[in-house]
Structure 1
Amino acid sequence: MNTEATSRVPANDADTPAQLAPEDRYTNRELSWLSFNRRVLAESENERYPLLERLRFLSISASNLDEFTMVRIAGLEGQVQRGIETQGIDGKSPRQQLEAIREQVLALEDRQQESLDVLRPLLSQEGIVIAAVDDLDKRQQHWLERYFESDILPLITPQAIDPSHPFPFVANMGMGVIFRLKRGRRQTDLIEMVLIPPGAPRFVRVPGAKAIYVPIEGLVSRFAGQMFPGFRILGDGLFRVLRDSDIEIEEEAEDLVRYFRTAIQRRRRGRTVLLELDDDCDEVAEALLRDQLEVEETMIVKTGGMLGLADLSVICREPRPDLKFQPFSPRYPERILEHDGDCFGAIREKDIVIHHPFESFDVVVDFLRQAARDPSVVSIKQTLYRAGDQSPVIAALIDAALNGKAVTAVVELKARFDEERNIHWASELERAGVQVIYGFTEWKTHAKVSLVVRREEDGYRTYCHFGTGNYHPVNAKIYTDLSFFTADPALGRDAAKMFNFITGYIEPDHLEKIAISPVGMREKLYQLIDKEIANAKAGKPSGIWIKLNSITNKPMIDKLYEASQAGVEIRMVVRGICSLRAGISGVSDNISVKSIIGRFLEHSRVWAFANGRNLPSRQAKVFVTSADAMSRNIDRRVEVLVPITNKTVHDQVLGQVMLANILDTEQSWELDSDGEYHRIRQGEGGFNCHDYFMSNPSLSGRGAALEAHEVPRLTLRGAAK
């Protein structure tokens, strides 16, 4: 690659953009997501990965597809049923989108089963076997039969289905087996349903040196005779149900907590969206399921493989380090260690950015723990979107309140699939004396901000943490995110105004540095893009580097198209959904898009603008943000866009994090103008950004002891030798 970012001349045919149909100008959001999940699934086929990591990617792909079905497909089905004809960005109606989605979902389901078929014999060679009962020897079968009798049978309840026994309720993601039975020659057939209880293990591990796992549904089918003594089993069928799991917010809801408690219960009983069946399902049982679950023909999937592939994650826990990635321990920032663990002292000296998971999330927790115990700290304000099951962040806030600090927590109840957990945390916080705020009814608070006010010799000083990811210690070991710590007074004042906006509906005015959605972030980004357009037209260097999880907002995409047509070179790293089409003649010639799928899940969001120089440069304007370029983030969520001005932090975010992502070849997929992705060729001489980050300390977090050991400098030609 050229070390200088050069801009290509825009196409001469000025009419080309207007002549393009929406489907040629944009990619449908749902189809782009399915493309992303195919890239995730492709990692299960990556022969360079250890086997259990390949199995993990398969389970992640299956889990992703379940959530997509429960939320996105359910939403489109609801629109069709209500007669809503709102078109997607590509001009497709909800019905047209469902037709296109179904075809790709079925293909994806088949490919997942094919991946499992490939992995099973490979795992078996390594002593990890996913087996049917009849595949095992008599001794193992006898152990399973006794295990079924002692540990499974007491948990399950056979339920007859007849006029006096109505069809039982099947919970969301519930799995069960329907049996067709006969007793005597003259008796009519009896239909019985056995639901797999949620507390039962999904896979039973047979004792022994070899790790043999048997799916629980296989035990239920194989040893059904223990449940139905005296009956002859004429047929059976395994099934699994997915239900509509989206929660629609009613603006007039007076009590959000009560509303969400009720809505969570409704979710468990939501409309059936998908019925999965095994290929050998008894015809009578299948007909009964179709009728009772009221499933449309188009939303039934039959497979000859395993149902519920997301549960394979259980097998990935098998203690076989030789079949997993080499263990990695995140570094604790040396700069904070040099201050004897005093986070405030280190931040006061200069801004720091922590790059998770390569640097430990413990520093974020320690920042709050220190604030909770420091007698000089007078107040803490904190946003909480996802915090996890056993959250040290929550514990620190409770500790702070018990120590007499003024603590305010903005808890977002609308964090999908974390609503119940967040209600629990809100109750725990309130019980400790924390002032809990639930934010706006119609907007989610998605910004990740901590604000600590400390009394010092020269007056009150505000310390801030701005994150691109959640305050979730488990996710922080998997997701790549940035944690920016600063004592900049202007950023502190802006953060305080953001909290006042959420807690008191006081719309911020005269923000000094940050931008907030939905009241100003779009305008700020447009201004920055317009500056690059003006520079390109004036013959000055121009360029934009963007790192996001998703981009779907049509006006933002059109703005980037406008910049491309003006000659601005735009490099984008978009992990997931990308409705923008790159490389379209006359529209996006100057835009390149890549997606990185690897050991860690790319999650940080960064914008960088050339500002009259060739990227990367010290003069570039660099921002970190909690927001993706989606309508929900820009228009319906409280988000923050934070400028990075400290020299060292600026170099780290632009010349280390962004540039390494752009240079990566080992985990990268490139987007073609037709909306399809192809893997960038892997092999000798390639560059893996995750390996680079695991091997080298960050620029702002490394201390004086590491200054003599230079971090390999990256250029657009690659890593410096």
Structure 2
Amino acid sequence: IKLTRDAELYIDDEFTGNLLAKIKKGLSKRDTGVPSRFLFDKNISLHFLKFLRESLSLEKEDLIPGGKYHNFSDFFSFPNPGKNSLEFPLMPQLKHSGIEKHKNIFDAIREKDRALFFPYHKYNYVIEFLNRAANDPAVVSIKVTQYRVAKDSAIIKAMIDAVNNGKEVMVFVEVKARFDEESNIQWAEEMEKAGVKVFYSFPGLKVHAKLALVARIENGKEVKYSYFGTGNFNERTAKIYSDIALFTMNEKLTNEAEQVFKFLSGEIVNYEFQHLLVAQFNMRKELLKLIDNEIQFAVEGKEAKIILKLNSLEDKKMIKKLYEASAAGVKINIIIRGICCLVPGIKGISENINVISILDRYL
């Protein structure tokens, strides 16, 4: 048998009082949440099933018959019974030749922007970037966002090393990352003890950005190096999640990354971003503008195409705009990981939209 409880953190009011304390209180109640699903062996005796239903206060709709085994996450570590054909062939992670030719990752970034594609590239470069920053005498400050933290996080250890080495370290920790709330809070408190300036979640807002900003003194002048990524600062999941990352010292981008961190630390409440697309500021407006550009190309008889890779697509305004683009003749390919509320293939509405979800060795 397996009982699943409602694990949602029901916080009545995020805007008053201590949000962190409310989240901690909600976590303490997670194990006693309302039952939402009860899986059981279909061969169980009716007498015993009735006993379980009454003891656990289950409704009829909570009951789902099945097989004998229900903890499917165990299959991640299921041993190979002896057939190599059941496993994916080994795919060693690639070295980045542009970074590898330099002894110092800062030199590699200074030469030119460096793009990485995980899990095909080694994630070690991200850890090296932060470790070197933590131990480099020329580095004066490090700022990082954290959404989902690895169990034994090399990133967090680098931040603690940095503050112990006299760097100014700021970390924004999103404690509303579902099912990682407790882990994130524990790591945040560990960093605070070491002297890291830790900032926590905003009321009514979830910070999903993956940013790092390193300030370094070079030739008597402060210069900034930034990391922008689509994936978490998590060396474990970086081996199976498909993500893109960019190392850069382009001032247009590093200066705006600095503004993001000022917002996260409460120094500013508004900013006119010109280069980064930042949710709550300009992301929706700029995305709609980009789609309108493709619509105009289609109207003019030019090639018009959109490729989107998303976790989910539920936003009504964005779906409406994509329908408009399709009707104008824009070819749209969408790769969705989870929920998709857009319906493709409807004549006159979405016939130019193709939606797929990739189920393979990498997410």
Residue of structure 1 aligned with 2:258, choices 496, 504, 529: 496
- Deviations 1:651-705 (CA, angstroms, capped at 9, x unpaired): xxxxxxxxxxxxxxxxxxxxxxxxxxxxxxxxxxxxxxxxxxxxxxxxxxxxxxx
Q: 2:63 aligns with which of 300, 304, 309?
A: 300
1:395 aligns with 2:163: no
- Cα distance between partner residues in 2 of 1:467 and 1:318: 38
**Structure-1 residue corresponding to 2:326:** 564
Q: Deviations over 1:162-185 (max 9, x none)?
A: xxxxxxxxxxxxxxxxxxxxxxxx
SS at match of 1:451: strand
Alignment map for 1:500-649 (pairs within 5 Å) = 500-504=262-266, 506-601=268-363
Q: Which residue of 2 aligns with 1:485?
A: 247
Structure 2 counterpart of 1:446: 208
Q: Does 1:265 align with 2:28?
A: yes
Q: CA deviation at 1:590?
A: 1.6
Residue 338 (structure 1) shift: 0.7
Contact kept, 8 Å, 2:15 with 2:204, in 1: the verdict is no
Normalised by the length of structure 1, the TM-score is 0.49
Q: Which amino acid aligns with 1:259?
A: K
Q: Secondary structure at the match of 1:596?
A: coil
1:290 aligns with 2:74: no
The reply on whether 1:280 has 2:43 as its aligned counterpart is yes
**2:115–2:245 contact (8 Å) kept in structure 1:** yes
Structure 1: give runs of 5+ residues left out of the alignment.
Answer: 1-238, 602-721
Give the match for residue 232 of structure 2: 470
Match of 1:255 in 2: 18
1:527-565: per-residue Cα shift (whole Å, max 9, x none)? 111111122222333221212222111110110011111
Q: Is the 8 A contact 1:491 1:512 kept in 2?
A: no
Q: Which residue of 2 aligns with 1:314?
A: 77
Asked if structure 2 preserves the Cα contact closer than 8 Å seen for 1:564 and 1:588, the reply is yes
Structure ranking higher on relative contact order (CA contacts 8 Å, 6+ apart)? 1
Identity among equivalent positions (%) equals 40
Within-5 A mapping of 1:419-458: 419-457=181-219
Query: May I ask how many residue pairs the two structures share in their alignment?
Result: 362
Rg larger for: 1
Amino acid of the residue matched to residue 251 of structure 1?
Answer: E
Contact 2:80 2:86 in 1 (8 A): no
Aligned partner letter, 1:311:
D
Deviates more, 1:302-311 or 1:259-268: 302-311
Question: Where do 1:51-450 residues align within 5 Å?
Answer: 239-249=1-11, 250-252=13-15, 254-316=17-79, 323-340=86-103, 342-450=104-212
Letter of the 1:411 partner, please give it.
V
Q: Distance in 1 between matches of 2:191 and 2:158?
A: 10
Superposition CA RMSD, Å: 1.8
Contact 2:213/2:225, CA 8 A, preserved across alignment: yes
Separation (CA, whole Å) in 2 of partners of 1:482 and 1:557? 24
Question: Do the aligned partners of 2:304 and 2:331 also contact (CA within 8 Å) in 1?
Answer: yes
TM-score (structure 2 length as normaliser): 0.95
Shift of residue 317 of structure 1?
Answer: 7.0
CA distance in 2, matches of 1:318, 1:429: 43
- Per the alignment, residue 699 of structure 1 pairs with none
What 5-or-longer segments of structure 2 have no aligned partner? none
Q: Which moved more, 1:353-362 or 1:326-335?
A: 326-335
Contact 1:253 1:259 survives alignment (8 Å): no
